[in-house]
Amino acid sequence: MHTPATAESILEQALLQGRWTLFERLPAERRLAEELGISRATLRTALRTLVGRGILETRRNSGTFVRTLPCAPQTSGPDDSLQAMSVVMPPLLSAVAGSFAPSVMLTLERLLPSVGMALHSGDMRLLARHHLHFFSTLLQAVPNARLAQAGACTLPDERTLTRLLEGCSQARLEELFKHLARTLHGLRHADPQASVAAVTAYVSCLLQYREESR
């Protein structure tokens, strides 16, 4: 017997795999429940949750429609976060660099020593976590929630970044650290272009290291 949570995952997977396109109407409840092999009550609970999450939309007298593409990790298609990050992060930073509150700079400044310590400890998993924490702190301070989400979609996951950092020499890890420090420096001194250049260099370095290690 499927639970509503399982039914919800099944529906979400189907959406991610493109079974229905944006704004398409889902099949009638009875048919959909049969297709998925679940009870109509379970299906209805799952549909309500997906409506609540803003993924589906119910229109009176006309059915249930796909409202947005779910933004969970996709299972199909290559998933190159570094390339996505290189496309999205520089223009994102360029657009919002002037609007960060001083408290954000303070948080980022406190993060940098942790990055430095992890670098010298040789714990690449911890280092990857601190690198990602740097970017997620930046993104959480982006005043436009949609833009922050778009940026968050492009952050590599911890495992991917850890593996990449494990292949880097100490000199290269220090270069990455410098780019993070320069990103912050540009933000602190109201020099968005310097931040954009630094973040571009950061992602380019990672892409180059990955290329060389293949």
Alpha helices in 37-169 (DSSP H): 40-52, 81-96, 102-121, 124-140, 145-152, 158-166
* 193: contact with a copy of itself by CB under 8 A: no
Of 116 and 175, which CB lies nearer to a copy of itself in the complex structure? 116
* Cα separation, 128 vs 19, whole angstroms: 35
- CB-based contact 196:93 (threshold 8 Å): yes
Nearer to a copy of itself by C-beta: 5 or 170? 5
Alpha carbon separation from 83 to 33, 104, 109, 130, 178 (Å, rounded): 39, 26, 27, 20, 21
Residue 12 contacts a copy of itself per CB under 8 A: yes
Q: Give yes or no for a contact between 107 and 137, defined as CB atoms under 8 angstroms apart.
A: yes
- Considering the rule CB under 8 A, would residue 83 count as an interface residue with a copy of itself? yes
Residue 60 within binding range of a copy of itself, rule CB under 8 A: no
Q: Does 63 interact with a copy of itself (rule: CB under 8 A)?
A: no
| Residues found near a copy of itself in the complex (CB under 8 A) | 3-6, 8-9, 12, 18, 21-23, 45-46, 48-49, 52-55, 67-69, 71-74, 76-81, 83-84, 87-88, 90-92, 94-95, 129, 132-133, 136-137, 139-140, 143-155, 157-158
